[in-house]
Amino acid sequence: MSNDSARKEAAAAYWKENVRLLLTLLVIWFIVPYIFGILLAPLLNNILIGGYPLGFWIAQQGSIYLFLILIFTYVVKMNALDRKYDVHEE
């Protein structure tokens, strides 16, 4: 019975870490484009990148790049978490 209890505790810890990672990445995904792409856009528009205002670039391209970075971060972190709890694929 203790083995079953240990597995349940490990599953709960795994899920807790997974949810914490997801929430962290979602908060970053919301805050960075919102702050830089909307709130600070007028200030950032004084800086040009390739002829385009930085605020516009962050709102259009930067958000997409951030999303891709967050996806790869999630993959790397989840692979490490899977190995930690021995639920990884071979």
Domain ranges of the chain: 2-84
Token reading at 70 = 């967050």
Instruction: Check residue 81 and give its pLDDT.
Output: 95
> Which of these, 10, 3, 21, 20, lies nearest to 84 by C-alpha position?
10
CB burial readout 36-63, b (16+ within 10 A) else e: bbeeebeebeeeeeeeebbbbbbbeebb
Instruction: Check residue 70 and give its pLDDT.
Output: 97
Mean pLDDT per block of 10 residues along the chain (90 residues) reads 81 94 95 87 90 86 92 97 86
In angstroms, rounded to a whole number, what is the distance separating the alpha carbons of residues 34 and 39? Answer: 7
Instruction: Check residue 1 and give its pLDDT.
Output: 53
In sequence order, the β-bridge partners of residue 60 are none
Instruction: Check residue 5 and give its pLDDT.
Output: 86
